[in-house]
Structure 1
Amino acid sequence: MAGQGFNRRAFLGAASATGITLAAGGTLTACGSGAKSGAGAAASAKLKLPAYVPANVPKPDLPGNAQGLDAGYLRYPKNLVKHSGPAPGDGEAITALTETFTTMPPAMRRNAYWQELNKRVGSEIRMTIVNGLGEESVYRSKFNALIAGGDLPDLMWFPPNQGLKNVPQLLEAKFHDLTEYLSGDAVKEYPNLANIPPYAWQTAVVNGRIAGYAVPYGRMGQVYVANEDFWKPVGGLQFDSAQDFFEKAKDLLDTKRKKWVLEPAYVNHLNQFAMWYGVQNGWQEKDGKLVNAFETDEFLAGLEFAVKCQKAGLFYPDPNLRTTLEKLGGGFLGLHVQSFPGFLNDSAMYDWPQKVVVPFAAEKGMQPTWGYGYGSVGFTAINNKVPKKRVKTLLKVLDFLSAPMGTETRLFLDNGLEGRHWDRSKDGDVVLNDKGNAEVLTTRQAINFFSNAPQSLYLPGKSEMTRGIHETEVELMKIAQANATIGYFSDTNASKGASSSAEFNEALKDIVAGRESIASFKKDVLPKWRRTAGDAMRSEYETAMAKGKKK
């Protein structure tokens, strides 16, 4: 896939805007989540987001759009757009803090891809790469240590879901305001940045200013992924209702052959079930008041259905299962929850037939829903110790690194050098070789966290799967909903959002597992969430949104 390269399941919450992220990840906060809500929202309402100008590249086989539908390529495009003009860099080294969730790349001196990248950029890119495969807090610790020491890199990636605090104050004190460079038509000086959709830029607005370069990511949120072969004995992945799903799942359960239907991630599944009942995406405004998905009857219905599935033994019995994809591929599991970009990565890597289950009505007359994600993995801010005259140079470098599918630059960024890192198949597809997997994939992931291109669909050698995924996106978007609070900020969400959601999810697990009753949800769990964070977030968001509407 062009513009991707993320493959850690624990980071998948970055694709979600629901506030009900994958249980393995943290709750995603709207980038800049420590903002003073009122002033920031009021100013943000007046801000012009960067103009959207789609890139002039070869027409994709399957069209995309500015709302989040990904362009698709059945074969690697021909007649690629060449980079024109000089290299964007100025010959001076560019330092950047970023993260990876895979093997660390070979050092620059032993990495032909990295060396060639530096040549094409015209400056040496010196990355400080934090490996987040261990603990969730590793990047935050490194980030905070750099802030405390005062010796900041030129480019600093602000992730959306790792609990950074006092973000607006930090941005004002330590980083350039990029509004004058990127707002409205100003962004057209950087054509690839203008190709980033507005929904991604919205997540880089803090207190009425464009705080950084929005790192684009697929807007498609979390999805229910099935092994199609697993479901063939009951007629495939067609369900008339939640009860129909339940009966077919029971028919497929075969513990003697060690076959279960659902991965043991209770919260992930109940979130999907709730969509069948029409649950809203995160916060939504109803009768002038913000309501969270947790507070709705639809969410409770999803919880009740999850309990029903657990009592029927549909979940894999070991809650610490570490081989979900292997068991799915082997036909020993039927369904798991994944981020959409993660699903794309898995589709490229594995040959077993993966398919997304588009939410269907739990009961006749109901309207199912599905939640958009944020469309970014945070933003990259520019250290204000960088001379103002050099800000444009760094933006030009980010523009280069954001080259979209259909350009020679993206072919190199995603795949490296032909003959050394990749080869063409007989069908003209671009396929990484062992050297490419060792150098390009590992280096590219670290780069893609602080600069990337909008997502596109391209699975080498799997044109029909690509077509099917594009058709699935079209169907998902028919019932998609965005979280109403994107672009608004809550101090409580920054300080307590992640911890309160983690506690909430643990309580949900206890209910699904049968350790607590369903009645405890309304009696204890939901009231506690409201007391510890929910009501304060609601008040702060409502204030911010009200002031924004007055402008």
Structure 2
Amino acid sequence: MSMSMSRRGFLGLALAGATAAGLAACGGEGGGAAGAGKGGADLSRKLRLPTYTPAKIPTPDLPIDAGQDPSYLKYPEQLVRSVPAPPGDGSRITALTQTWDVAPPGADKSAYLQELGKRLNAQWDMNIVVGEGYPDKFNAIIASDDLPDLVWFPPNQGLQRVPELLEAKFHDLTPHLAGDAIKKYPNLANLGDVAWKSAVTNGKIFGVAVSYSRFGQVYLVNQDFWRPVGGIGFTGADDFFQKSVQLLDAKRNRYVLEPAYVNHVHMFSQWYGAPNTWRLTGGKLVHQYETPEYQAALEFAVKCFKAGLFWPDATLATTKEKVANGQLGAYVESFPGFYNDARTQKYELGAIVPFAATPDAKPVYNAGLGSVGFTAISKKADPKRVEMLLNVLNFMAAPFGTEENQLVNYGVEGVHFTRKDGELTFTDRGAAEVPATQQPISFVIGSPSAIYLPGKPEGTRLIHDFETKVAPMLQERVTTGHFSDTFTTKGGELSTMGSDMVVDVVTGRKPLSAWQGFVKKWMDRGGAAMKAEYEASIARG
């Protein structure tokens, strides 16, 4: 696939929050992280997003007629060259980014970065924050006024006063990217509306969207675990419950659900048709916490806990090992994690497609954020350099099946990877240089998702089949591209407040009857303010 497989650490921070209770910490509302400061909603205005133009790629092996990611059972034999000439001007390009892996080797020791520099006609130089601490580094660099060319604005790390910073220190890229202007950069034009909405702040495009999967969390299982009850097809929540009870065997240390209570409530809420964070009707928003669908999911989770379906140790750190050896039935994973598990797990992996919890329910599948923020360009860059940097980002955003994407994700053939039976395999040097370097690159600029699992065509089919089934029920976030000042200042607090309450109710520390009182308190603490600010932004288009 085109995205880094080593993002697990980042995903745990950023995407595990995309649950029923984790909306605020996750960010990703186009103005979530970028909507702080005075007047974010008031300044919102109609904006023509970059015109989507599909890139030329090798013909996928499986259909893409329902919005599935391009899927390849084998690595394409004939790649497409998407950028005809090196886009750089021979200069050094600096970027602020992050990694959740080890720090990669520098250019003087990395044949990967040296070749990338040749293809770009530029020296790609990253200031990388390893692990935690990105906001501190970001703030220090902003305060020093020694800005790199490219600065990554993540959607989930609570950066403050972002609109003011963007206006003061970064280029408004709207004239370069809005509408048909994007066609000058074909690979950026291929990113799509979902990703580009995250790069909009105060009605302007202040950065290049960092593309990411638009599919959300997935309910994954070991198929063998469920075979005694006929597999993972369910006629309703009660059917799921009854089959789970049949499979439960506490004496043999065999349980059905991992103890990630908030994630499970999120999964259940899709069966009941709860909104993806907010529901918009007639210009008015209703938060998922306020809906009967979400409350029904919470009640169902309480029922599962009382029946002993959850693994009894809430600190379980070996979920996937327990699933692999048949001691655990189901766990929740991010969509990129789905790719990784389909590639690495030895058992027959399965994914539960959302189904109607009751005869009257309309199941949904909640979309992911579609991006991991955006990358802004410092105002220190003159107009000619801005054009050059956009061309470089266009090169780096090349989709799967292009020569440029192969270079970014695999390095140099014969040095970093070899071909055998048409598949690519990292050499020892490639394994040491490429993944650790590609991860911080992928936070500066990403390419759209594609499904390709080397030597695992059955995994590709599994993911493609899941995407095909959930595509008709895909539910985007209605607040994406809109702004709430309160979201940034209080989003983390409200997220923690919601997650804690869900856990308390599910585990019986607080009664289900306490939920309504909690919702009122949550609204008073900032939920109502977020609602009003989002509504104002939506009303202005």
* TM-score above 0.5: yes
Q: For 2:348 and 2:342, how far apart are their aligned partners in 1? A: 8
Please state if 1:340 is matched with 2:342.
no
Aligned position for 1:57: 57
- 1:537 lines up with 2:530 in the alignment: yes
Q: State how many pairs are aligned.
A: 538
Q: Distance in 2 between matches of 1:492 and 1:19?
A: 19
CA contact (8 A) 2:24 2:495 kept: no
Q: Which residue of 2 aligns with 1:513?
A: 507
CA deviation profile, 1:333-392 (whole Å, cap 9, x unmatched) = 111111112211222232222222111111123211111122111000001111221001
2:520 alignment partner, one of 507, 517, 527: 527
Residue equivalent to 2:376: 381
Unaligned runs of 5+ in 2: none
Alignment of 1:482 with 2:476, yes or no, is yes
- Is the alpha carbon distance of 1:351 and 1:454 closer, same or farther for their aligned partners in structure 2, counting shifts above 3 Å? same
User: Conserved in 2, the CA contact under 8 Å of 1:12 and 1:342?
Assistant: no
CA apart distance, 1:293:
0.8
Equivalent residue, structure 1, for 2:35: 33
> Could you state the TM-score of these two structures normalised by the residue count of structure 2?
0.95
Deviation (angstroms), 1:515: 0.8
Distance 1:287 1:168 in 2: 28
**C-alpha separation in 2, matches of 1:325 and 1:106:** 31
Does the Cα contact within 8 Å between 2:302 and 2:506 map onto a contact in 1?
yes
Displacement after TM superposition at 1:273 (Å): 0.7
1:17 and 1:281 in contact (8 A); partners too: no
Q: CA deviation at 1:83?
A: 5.3
Letter in 2 for 1:497: G
What does 1:121-132 correspond to in 2, within 5 Å?
A: 121-132=120-131
Q: Percent identity?
A: 48
Q: Which residue pairs with 1:179 in the alignment?
A: 174
Determine the structure 2 residue equivalent to 1:257. 252
Residues 13 and 339 in structure 1, CA contact (< 8 A), matched pair in contact too = no
Alpha-carbon distance in 2 for matches of 1:257, 1:7: 34
Shift of 1:425: 2.8
How far apart, CA to CA, are the structure 1 residues paired with 2:370 and 2:16? 9
Contact 1:13 1:27 in 2 (8 A): no
Give the structure 1 partner of residue 287 of structure 2. 292
- Within a 5 Å distance, the mapping from 1:16-415 to structure 2 comes to 20=20, 26-31=26-31, 32-34=34-36, 36-41=39-44, 43=45, 45=46, 47-64=47-64, 68-82=67-81, 85-132=84-131, 135=132, 138-415=133-410
Whether contact under 8 Å (1:50, 1:194) holds in the other structure is: yes
**Distance of aligned partners of 1:198 and 1:499 in 2 relative to their CA distance in 1, 3 Å threshold:** same
8 Å Cα contact 1:5/1:444 also seen in 2: no
Conserved 8 A contact 2:82-2:187: no
> Is this contact kept in 2: 1:270–1:302, CA < 8 A?
yes
Instruction: Give the match for residue 455 of structure 2.
Output: 461
Deviation, structure 1 residue 106: 2.2
* Code of the aligned partner of 1:519: S
Measure how far apart 1:282 and its partner are.
1.3
Instruction: Give runs of aligned pairs for residues 496-507 of structure 1, distance below 5 A.
Output: 496-507=490-501
Q: Secondary structure of the equivalent of 2:72?
A: coil
SS at match of 2:126: strand
**Secondary structure, counterpart of 1:318 in structure 2:** coil
User: Take 2:148 and 2:83, find their aligned partners in 1: how far apart are those partners?
Assistant: 28
More deviation, 206-215/309-318: 309-318
Compute the displacement of 1:95 (Å).
0.5
